Structure 1
Amino acid sequence: MLLKRSEDLHLDLKGHEGIKSVLAELNNGEEFSNLKRVDVIIRMEEYSTSFEPVPLFNKQTSLWISNLRRLIINGCGNLEHLLSPSVARRLEQLQCFEIKDCMRLREIIFTKEIVEEEEREDVICFPQLNSLHIKGIPDLIFFCSGNFNIEFPLLKELNIEDCPNLKEFISRSSSESGMHTLFNEKVAVPSLETMTISELSNVKMIFHTDLPPNSFQHLRELSVSGCEILKNLFPASIAKHLLQLEDLSISDCGVEEIVSEGKGLEDQPVRFEFPKVSSLEVTSLKELKCFYKGQHTIVWPMLKKLTTDGSALLMIMGLEDVRIQERKRNGEAALVVEEVIPNLEQLELPHLSDEGQFPLNFFHHVKVLKVNGGFGDGFPIFPFLRKICNPESLDLECFSFRDGLPCTGDVGTPSRIKKLNLSNLRNLQRMWRKDSELGHILSNLQTLRVMFCHDLINIGASSLSFKNLTTLKVSNCEMMTNLATPLIVESLVQLTTMEVSNCTKMTEIVAHEGDYRQTIVVGKLKCLKLSKLQSLTSFCGGSYTFNFPYLEEVVVEVCPKLKIFSEGVLNTPQLQSVKPDSFDMKGCWAGDLNTTLQLLNIKKVRS
């Protein structure tokens, strides 16, 4: 009785018997006249050989399904088919539809064996559907296999992932052999804004060449990855009308060209302009030969962030074109960049291996540069930087260095680098040496972050190297036994934040180097965080005098051997607490830093 009076119904159904009994009650023909909103989540075991497939919806499904707003199916047992056309048409209020991990499902809407259908309309419409997610369905071939046109007038978000046998969203019986496309004229998504296509290893084309040019005109975000036999991303007719596109990503696919030639455009110069694209990723396309086979120009006027391989980068800007190559030889390539991507701010280059392909001052206006060396040995990274750009922020990842970061030759233009992130650098034992150009970079540095540099002993550098550094963060450096020498620490005159974590062999932050009679003043340090340093016994093992006039936050987390901060004189006039973790708002205080650490250790032992 209560169920029949309800306006809202939320069901989370689990297990074979529970799903079977509840659906039987709902589908027994009873009318629920007050029901306005229904949400259903179904979770069923896969490959349950002892159970017959449970039809989730059948011809006796009562009117409750017309009020279904959200349908989430996570596992559908042994079912091979989900909806009949008549049931699909009754999902008039459905707004969110998710189907995941259904191992035997072959089609969402199945029609071939349905003979009792009274209606023979060739259109199935989901008038309110806003979000459709299909994921982890290995046997799925079609969304719908019958001779139907499927309309999604309000669909804004579409995700299709890990469906290796999917050929077409809607089957097209007249498809030429080998010419299946994911989207043909039988599916309409006029409002689509976000689309993710991933791990569809049976799809050769996403968009049919005969689609109306404005079919995807509202698309803002498109991500395509892991499609092994995909030949291209767009036909020219679609690419020229993506005027709302803001975020475009394609990676790990077999594409030979980004845009395929359109009918009637073979001998005509084509201009591709993507007026709103601000983020573009084109990576790991091993078969990529060109952006577009025909004569063309490309403009990305609002592009801010670009992630791409070196070879694809030239294609994105049209530099593979014969006419552009002539301009490249004439030293005009930098002008081409200004024309094609005038507002680029961040450039990410994964798997960089050949710096010779980039002309001089290629990206002189880039502010953020992230480079992955793929653990190549001896790549001349700093000459490369001098050659193509002078960024404000630099990330170096997966390089192999010996005897410090290598640089030779003229220093040239003063470095603008204010932020430096070093991650996964092999064979790097010292960050600086006398003949290294890194000192030139460090002089203007404000933020330094070092991660997973397992051969690094410490950040030792000249006493002038870090004069402008305000933030220092070091983590996961296995061989590091101390962070820096007293001379280096005293030179950190602008440092406000220091964080050290997960360095398993670190025994002290400041190295003990015998007698050091001067007071070590860390004049602007406000925040010190020490976390998960299993071997740390003290901040400094020597009897040095430390002065921290502005230190106000100290966090000591999972440092089991840390019993004392320093054996020397400590001056911390602003410090009022020590926190055992970052989430502790009050912390603990026993009058001075050393006594407080001892108190925290006593509390840990007792707990």
Structure 2
Amino acid sequence: DVTTMGPLPFALKTLALCDLPNLENVWNSNVELTFPQVKSLALCDLPKLKYDMLKPFTHLEPHPLNQVCIQKLTPNIEHLILGEHELNMILSGEFQGNHLNELKVLALFFHFDSDVFVQRVPNIEKLEVCDGSFKEIFCFDSLNVDEDGLVSQLKVICWDSLPELVSIGSENSGIVPFLRNLETLQVISCFSSINLVPCTVSFSNLTYLKVESCKSLLYLFTSSKARSLGKLKTMEIGWCDSIEEIVSSTEEGDESDENEIIFQQLNCLKLEYLFKLRRFYKGSLSFPSLEEFTVWRCDRMESLCAGTVKTDKLLQVNTNWGGDVIPLETDLNSAMQNR
């Protein structure tokens, strides 16, 4: 046991228990022992941790012995990190009743052979998912989403090492409404599909996008989805070996070079190590707020687009990590050709 006597003599705010293969219990049978000040709790890779380790704290409501109530133990928990084994311990007892009222950040670490994502998620602001063979994260038919969306507060998504991921949402499930409030999307080493955003998903409030090491992607958005990114301020794309366009030119009307997409609030754009990237978009582009543009090791890209490109505030192009820059003397396409 980590604790052997009495209430803790200090205000514990962070508790992390990870990679402890023989740990069975965290505390003794003292039912008065609680952690009311804990804001961040991490439980990962604890294969022998007993399902009934929190049995003394489940007296408020009747629970089966294989369910764990952490609300009584840590009533003010805001940041929860769980491995797959530990998630299964509390899943039905906590998430279904949505008892984690103060929880804002949920980080889930699965095994690489895990192919089924959780069916219920509490109403959090940030969701982190690492490792796994999931083909789909948000399946509208099974996730706990009502008319208002139980995860309507979700603002930040971070995904890492999900190589089998096919889609953010089910293509047959209609628009995933709660993702409209998403402000930050970070995707690293994910996706077996050719595009990032299916037609069913809207990111109208997205302000930050980072996509890295997604080797199957050929493009990120269709032109109609790109036009909905009116609040996007930062876009960082790197190490995606197959990507040829950022915005696909496959929709009706995209064959014209005059078809313009305006990224009204985009302030920072970074394109790095995209060896097959030919262009950002076939048509015309406008970046009225762009002040920082970095392009590095995008060897096949000779211009940003086939049409015109407008950059009212951009003064130079950053061409590597060493600080080399190209002054913007005419337009961005000309600067790209002079690299």
Asked whether the equivalents of residues 368 and 391 of structure 1 are also in contact (C-alpha less than 8 Å), the reply is: yes
Q: CA 1:375 to 1:336, structure 2 compared with 1: closer, same or farther past 3 Å?
A: closer
The alignment of Structure 1 onto Structure 2 pairs a total of residues equal to: 326
Asked whether the equivalents of residues 405 and 428 of structure 1 are also in contact (C-alpha less than 8 Å), the reply is: no
Q: CA deviation at 1:432?
A: 2.6
Q: CA 1:577 to 1:379, structure 2 compared with 1: closer, same or farther past 3 Å?
A: same
Q: CA deviation at 1:497?
A: 0.7
Whole-angstrom distance in 1 between the partners of 2:136 and 2:292: 36
Choose which of 341, 366, 388 in structure 1 pairs with 2:103. Answer: 366
Q: Which residue of structure 1 aligns with residue 289 of structure 2?
A: 550
- Asked if residue 400 in structure 1 is aligned to residue 136 in structure 2, the reply is no
Asked whether the equivalents of residues 520 and 547 of structure 1 are also in contact (C-alpha less than 8 Å), the reply is: yes
Choose which of 36, 42, 48 in structure 2 pairs with 1:307. Answer: 42
Q: CA deviation at 1:469?
A: 0.2
Q: CA 1:377 to 1:351, structure 2 compared with 1: closer, same or farther past 3 Å?
A: closer
Q: CA 1:592 to 1:321, structure 2 compared with 1: closer, same or farther past 3 Å?
A: closer
Q: CA deviation at 1:472?
A: 0.6
TM-score by length of 2: 0.84
Q: 1:559-598 to 2 correspondence within 5 Å?
A: 559-582=298-321, 584=323, 587-598=326-337
Q: CA deviation at 1:463?
A: 7.1
- Asked if residue 351 in structure 1 is aligned to residue 62 in structure 2, the reply is no
Question: What SS does the aligned partner of 1:488 have?
Answer: helix
Q: Which residue of structure 2 aligns with residue 155 of structure 1?
A: none
- Asked if residue 539 in structure 1 is aligned to residue 272 in structure 2, the reply is no
Choose which of 280, 284, 288 in structure 1 pairs with 2:15. Answer: 280
Asked whether the equivalents of residues 373 and 379 of structure 1 are also in contact (C-alpha less than 8 Å), the reply is: no
**Cα-to-partner distance string for 1:95-119 (whole Å, 9 max, x where unaligned):** xxxxxxxxxxxxxxxxxxxxxxxxx
Name the aligned partner's letter for residue 336 of structure 2: L
Whole-angstrom distance in 2 between the partners of 1:372 and 1:397: 5
Q: CA 1:536 to 1:274, structure 2 compared with 1: closer, same or farther past 3 Å?
A: farther
Asked whether the equivalents of residues 457 and 479 of structure 1 are also in contact (C-alpha less than 8 Å), the reply is: yes
Asked whether the equivalents of residues 482 and 509 of structure 1 are also in contact (C-alpha less than 8 Å), the reply is: yes
Q: 1:468-507 to 2 correspondence within 5 Å?
A: 468-507=205-244
Whole-angstrom distance in 2 between the partners of 1:384 and 1:327: 22
Q: 1:105-124 to 2 correspondence within 5 Å?
A: none
Q: CA 1:375 to 1:368, structure 2 compared with 1: closer, same or farther past 3 Å?
A: same
Asked whether the equivalents of residues 159 and 186 of structure 2 are also in contact (C-alpha less than 8 Å), the reply is: yes
Whole-angstrom distance in 2 between the partners of 1:463 and 1:407: 11
Q: Which residue of structure 1 aligns with residue 180 of structure 2?
A: 443
Asked whether the equivalents of residues 552 and 574 of structure 1 are also in contact (C-alpha less than 8 Å), the reply is: yes
Q: CA 1:375 to 1:362, structure 2 compared with 1: closer, same or farther past 3 Å?
A: farther
Q: Which residue of structure 2 aligns with residue 384 of structure 1?
A: 120
Whole-angstrom distance in 1 between the partners of 2:104 and 2:193: 27
Name the aligned partner's letter for residue 135 of structure 2: R
Q: Which runs of 5+ in 2 are unaligned?
A: none
- Asked if residue 519 in structure 1 is aligned to residue 254 in structure 2, the reply is no
Q: CA 1:491 to 1:401, structure 2 compared with 1: closer, same or farther past 3 Å?
A: same
Asked whether the equivalents of residues 43 and 83 of structure 2 are also in contact (C-alpha less than 8 Å), the reply is: yes
Q: Which residue of structure 2 aligns with residue 271 of structure 1?
A: 6
Whole-angstrom distance in 2 between the partners of 1:400 and 1:438: 24
Question: What SS does the aligned partner of 2:177 have?
Answer: helix
Q: Which runs of 5+ in 1 are unaligned?
A: 1-256, 261-269, 601-607
Whole-angstrom distance in 1 between the partners of 2:288 and 2:313: 7
TM-score by length of 1: 0.49
Q: CA deviation at 1:401?
A: 1.9
Name the aligned partner's letter for residue 208 of structure 2: T
Q: CA 1:271 to 1:403, structure 2 compared with 1: closer, same or farther past 3 Å?
A: closer
Asked whether the equivalents of residues 502 and 532 of structure 1 are also in contact (C-alpha less than 8 Å), the reply is: yes
Higher normalized contact order (CA 8 Å, seq sep 6+, divided by chain length): 2
Q: CA 1:323 to 1:498, structure 2 compared with 1: closer, same or farther past 3 Å?
A: closer
Q: CA deviation at 1:313?
A: 12
Q: CA deviation at 1:310?
A: 8.6
Whole-angstrom distance in 1 between the partners of 2:47 and 2:16: 10
Give 1 or 2: higher helix fraction: 1
Q: CA deviation at 1:402?
A: 2.4
Q: CA 1:549 to 1:348, structure 2 compared with 1: closer, same or farther past 3 Å?
A: same
Asked whether the equivalents of residues 445 and 466 of structure 1 are also in contact (C-alpha less than 8 Å), the reply is: yes
Q: CA 1:439 to 1:495, structure 2 compared with 1: closer, same or farther past 3 Å?
A: same
**Cα-to-partner distance string for 1:554-579 (whole Å, 9 max, x where unaligned):** 10011121111111122222222111
Identity %: 25
